[in-house]
Chains A and B, each alone.
Chain A
Amino acid sequence: MAGKVLEEESAAGKTKVAGRPPFLTLVRLCVAAWLLPGLGHLLLGKRWRALILFASIITMFALGLAMQGQFFSTGSPSLLETLGYYGELCVGLVMPGARFFGYSGGDPFFVSSDFGTAYLIAAGMLNVLAVLDCFDIAMGRKA
């Protein structure tokens, strides 16, 4: 990155890049951003971005539930279904939250179920983008 200045930290000869947050801070930020869509941006002070991301991703997930989208599991022999599970899990706590509040995984014979499944997985994928954006902002690569 242009403009970054390297400085020696201690007699051990370790170096660090000025302005880069500590590793644990980055980890906590990314975990927070994953757990609740928009939380990472809120912690970085980007309130409007946090609100828009939260509203969009949660709306997409909620519409997926309303359309009886399918919840996948890791116990499936199908690789695609296992990937689908991890895709849905990327949306954070709302997925286990939906299970906790009684969503049993959708009705595959419902007319909009396939669309609902796509919505659920896409919500997870959008949250991954949000986490990566949060990381870039924390690293100083973006405003």
Chain B
Amino acid sequence: MALTHFPALVIFSFLVSVVFGVLAKETPRERLVYGAKVFGAFVGTAVVLGWLMYFFPR
């Protein structure tokens, strides 16, 4: 299965966020919210770092 970087990153972030949400919080709602925040942080950080690296020469 050949994946490019971004889909691999999104799937990885999703799976890690699910586990983090389940382990870190107690109620289903808290788990959902925390998992969503972690997922957003993973993907958002990757996008920000990607754009920061855009300005570096090849």
Contact = CB atoms under 8 A, between A and B. Distances in A.
Interface residues of A, number: 23
Interface residues of chain B: helix, strand, loop or mixed (majority): helix
B8 to A, nearest CB: 4
Interface residues of chain A: helix, strand, loop or mixed (majority): helix
B49 to A, nearest CB: 16
Interface in A24-56: 49, 52-53, 56
A89 interface: no
B48 interface: no
A126 B16 CA distance: 8
Given A112-B8, A130-B23, A143-B26, A56 B15 contact: yes
Interface string B7-30: 010011001101100110010000
A112 B19 contact: no
A91 interface: no
Nearest to B8: A115
A15 B26 CA distance: 32
Given A67-B1, A115-B3, A52 B18 contact: yes
Interface of A: 49, 52-53, 56-57, 59-60, 63, 66-67, 110-112, 115, 118-119, 122, 126, 129-130, 133, 142-143
Interface of B: 1-3, 5, 8, 11-12, 15-16, 18-19, 22-23, 26
